[in-house]
Structure 1
């Protein structure tokens, strides 16, 4: 049986990446940060397990109470590891459309270019999507990725023990 799931859809992934980047103050983030916040976008209930930075937990716990419109994961860490190639496809597609910088991507940073997003693509996001993308972009994606209390350690989704301090 073939089942559609947006988490595996490159086009939906490109939409999510653009939505998250547009709601991040710098309009850029490390590729691994994008992988983590994208997982939280698709499965917001996973936010309940995040070690929130000071001052952002209340809203995060409220958003974590929102059930995923898609489904649940048996192991988020395994899922993130198994879908490692999907973000590469998404970023390659966005580079091809000149919506993110190829040069920044070589350094592991996904950064929006000045190229306008086609048509009314982002207007397809409903209010819930925008609220979640805004929270993730401004409160979670801005947390440093590496080091003590970095996003990798806080999320427990990626190995962090060997990161530079």
Structure 2
């Protein structure tokens, strides 16, 4: 997946209430709205779009670390693509995941991360988190 797709999906994972503002792809809205839950004063961002832009450097460090641990392909990352390797996620990380975490991650990975990134129907446009008007079509 493109690195910008991962950035958007990661934001939805950390702040699932933002899913409520997503224009869902066909067939993904019912579960997405359920997973969104509700925002509270403890889990809201003043500007998700600004937060996403400001956290770009942090995402670069994170994916570089994942490539260093060979959980994603370093070669693919050089061209802006995040591609899993066959290496397993460490058990220690999986032990800390709740069933809700796994459900949300599964949904985001299969229903949201698979939406093309670019264009009027792409994830950038649907999420309203990144500019899409100048995307190549």
1:61 matched residue in structure 2: 33
Superposed counterparts of 1:29-48, under 5 Å: 29-48=1-20
Give, in whole Å, the separation in 1 of the partners of 2:46 and 2:33.
Answer: 20
Structure 2 SS opposite 1:142 = coil
1:112 matched residue in structure 2: 84
TM-score by length of 1: 0.78
TM-score by length of 2: 0.93
Give, in whole Å, the separation in 2 of the partners of 1:82 and 1:120.
Answer: 29
2:120 matched residue in structure 1: 148
Gapped regions of structure 2 (runs ≥ 5) = none
Kindly state the Cα deviation for residue 105 of structure 1 after the two structures are TM-superposed: 0.4
Kindly state the Cα deviation for residue 63 of structure 1 after the two structures are TM-superposed: 1.0
1:126 matched residue in structure 2: 98
* Aligned-residue RMSD, C-alpha: 1.6
Q: 1:132 to 1:77 in 2, by over 3 A?
A: same
Structure 2 SS opposite 1:164 = coil
Gapped regions of structure 1 (runs ≥ 5) = 1-28
Structure 1 SS opposite 2:82 = strand
Aligned residues: 137
